[in-house]
Amino acid sequence: MDRVVLMLSVLSLGVSSQPITDGQRLFSIAVSRVQHLHLLAQRLFSDFESSLQTEEQRQLNKIFLQDFCNSDYIISPIDKHETQRSSVLKLLSISYRLVESWEFPSRSLAGGSAPRSQISPKLSELKTGIHLLIRANEDGAELFPDSSALQLAPYGDYYQSPGTDESLRRTYELLACFKKDMHKVETYLTVAKCRLSPEANCTL
């Protein structure tokens, strides 16, 4: 028993011995990956929008007001103030959940183009990275305070319902929500990273 305690303490020490450098590196990697995903999403969306005709565009605008993103159930800070108030761990967990929520539906984004097919694996990698970050930064606090994360699966079927007349709208929504969520994750990660960085002015 003493040995187990000793080993655990050593492990914990080992894990937390280099929080900063490893964390910074991990953060940098995660941030860059998210940025890339966000750029992808932006491009997808703009391509889609440009392919639409004006009449359809107007209709879609009207529809979209109704806020059909599947990640809306995830409560996330929506302004700077809230974001500043949130802890790093909270930000990381929210990011994790957001990425996770898109892991499955992103497959439906796949069309014929290559960028679409790359989204799902990238999301998986990002999720793994964020998980590592969480592990690195958690202080033994609660890992998943929100149980809402477990409710992901039922929403996954939402986007699977077929409907040709709604396909256009669905694609539009999908792409718009994806783009927004990616930007959220990017912002949260960047803020968390800057908060943890040793320099006062986070220029990176």
Partner 1 sequence: MRKVLEVILLLLLLVFTHAKGTRYSPPGKPALTRCRSPEKETFTCWWEPGSDGGLPTTYALYYRKESSDTVNECPDYRTAGENSCFFNKNDTSIWVNYNITVVATNALGRTFSDPVDIDVVYIVKPNPPEQVAVTVMEDKGWPFIRVSWEPPHKADTRSGWITLMYEIRVKLEEENDWETHLAGQQKMFNIFSLRSGGTYLVQVRCKPDHGFWSEWSSSSYVKVPDYFHREKSVWILITVFCAFIFLIVTWLLHMNSRSLKHFILPPVPGPKIKGFDKQLLKNGKSEEVFSALVVSDFPPKSSNYEDLLVEYLEVYIPEEQELMLEKSMDLDVSCLKSEGSTSDSDSGRGSCDSHTLLMHKCDGVKEGRERQAEEARRHQKDWKEEASTYSNVDSSPDMSSGRVKTWPSVFSPLPRYSSNQQGSLETAKQHYLSDSLFRPSSTSSCHTQPGHGATEALGPSYWECGLSNKQPHLLHPQGQAQRQLQAHSDDNISSIGRKPTPAGLPSPALRSTEYVEVQRVNEEDMVLLQPVSGRCGDVEGYPQVPHGEDYSKVKGVDGDNMLLLQREVREETGNCDTPSTVATTQKPTTCIHSAMPVQGEAVLGVNGYVDTATVFTLPTY
Residues 6 or more apart in contact with residue 128 via CB below 8 angstroms: none
Least distance (Å) from partner 1 to the CB of residue 65?
6
- Which residue lies nearer to partner 1 by CB, 66 or 147? 66
Nearest to 102, CA basis, from 126, 85, 129: 126
Q: Least distance (Å) from partner 1 to the CB of residue 61? A: 6
Rounded to an integer, what is the distance from CA 101 to the centroid of its chain? 8
Query: Two tokens at 36?
Result: 């890339």
48/64 with CB nearer partner 1: 64
Beta carbon of residue 144, minimum distance to partner 1 (angstroms, whole number): 22
List the Cα angle 78/202/125 in 5-degree steps. Answer: 65
Binding site for partner 1 (CB under 8 A): 35, 38, 42, 61, 64-67, 72, 76, 78-81, 83-84, 180, 183-184, 187, 190-191, 193-195, 200-204
CA angle centred on 195, ends 8 and 9, rounded to 5°? 5
**Closer residue to partner 1, CB minimum distance, 164 or 190:** 190
Find the shortest distance in angstroms from Cβ 79 to partner 1: 5
